[in-house]
Amino acid sequence: MIDSALWFKLARTAAAASMLNACSIGGCSKYASAYSCSYVEDRAEYEVWYWRHVEQDNVADNKPIARTVGLERCENTARMFAASIGATFNYRAYICVLMDGGKRREKHRYGEG
């Protein structure tokens, strides 16, 4: 059972989060992100990771290949990399790792929302 003080704190936190989301300040539900949708899609810096033989499930093949800005550009970078190594592009073979303050924060794919 939750005591009344804890319940009040939880309710207040939920209300504040609801107000932030209503004002489009609290993140982007399309990408399940703490950042705004426009930031995730257009302004965020990403490490582009490509898993060369994803079907073989060898984690050692998953490597960073580039850095870029914007989620669509991240996917395009992965597509160009696949072409450069003679591979057919596989949507599961890449991931865009959102960087903030030099740290990896979130993982996304373009259009996943």
Q: What is the pLDDT of residue 2?
A: 56
Whole-number Å distance between alpha carbons of 86 and 75: 17
Q: How many CA atoms lie within 13 A of 8 on its CB side?
A: 3
Q: How far apart are CA 39 and CA 76, in angstroms?
A: 18
Q: Which residue would you say has higher pLDDT here, 3 or 94? A: 94
Computed over every residue of the chain, the mean pLDDT equals 83
Q: Rounded to whole angstroms, how far apart are CA atoms 93 and 79?
A: 10
pLDDT score at 12: 57
Weakest-pLDDT range from 49-53, 54-58, 66-70, 102-106? 54-58
- Model confidence at 23: pLDDT above 70: no
pLDDT above 80 (res 85): yes
pLDDT exceeding 70 applies to what percent of the chain? 76
Across the range 46-59, mean pLDDT stands at 92
Given the structure tokens 């499930």, which residue do they identify? 57
Quick one: CA dihedral 21, 25, 30, 34, positive or negative? negative
